[in-house]
Amino acid sequence: MRKIVGRNAPIYELTKRVTYTGAANLGATGTNATIFTVTGSILVVHLVPVVAVNLGESAATSSLSLGTTGSVARFIAATLALDLDAGDLWIDATPTETEAATLPAAMGGSLGQVLNGTIILTAHSGVGNTNAGAIDFTLRYIPINGGSVA
């Protein structure tokens, strides 16, 4: 974790790579991969997922969403795994190759979002597993009343 000194409050930064194998909690349908465990409350300054390695699937129409334990699509609705290619900024359900993008409000695009739930990646049931590829997630946040992230 890196601490960035802000004017009024410290901003913390964490980065995590999730590599998909198709196993439980790593792309198997109907399971969740924990990205960041939030304790207490935080203000999301930025949440930026960047595809590091093209995602693959075991059967057509594997899909993922990015959310929290209480709302699996809080940040990004179900997105087809094969649409996520290396270098993509994954900021919505229809990713496109781009060099710059405006983050949606929930991911820090305007005032950010106050969270008190773990940030998860959900592999939706009823479709094939996401069994290859990797996504790097960077979270910048401000703790609220002692909130923290691991």
The whole domain housing 73 covers 2-149
Q: What is the pTM of this model?
A: 0.87
- Quote the CA–CA distance of 75 and 55 in Å, as a whole number: 19
Q: Would you say 58 and 51 are in contact if contact means Cβ atoms under 8 Å apart?
A: no
- CA 110, 70, 8, 89 torsion-angle sign: negative
Instruction: Tell me the pLDDT of the chain (150 aa) as tens digits.
Output: 666 665 677 889 999 999 999 999 999 988 999 999 999 999 888 899 999 999 999 887 889 999 998 889 988 999 999 999 999 999 889 887 766 677 776 776 655 778 888 999 888 866 789 999 999 999 999 898 888 999
Tokens of 15: 């980065």
Q: What b/e sequence results for 23-50 when a residue is b if at least 16 CB atoms lie within 10 Å of its CB, and e otherwise? A: eeebbbbebbbebbebeebbbbbebbbb
- Quote the CA–CA distance of 94 and 112 in Å, as a whole number: 21
Number of domains in the chain: 1
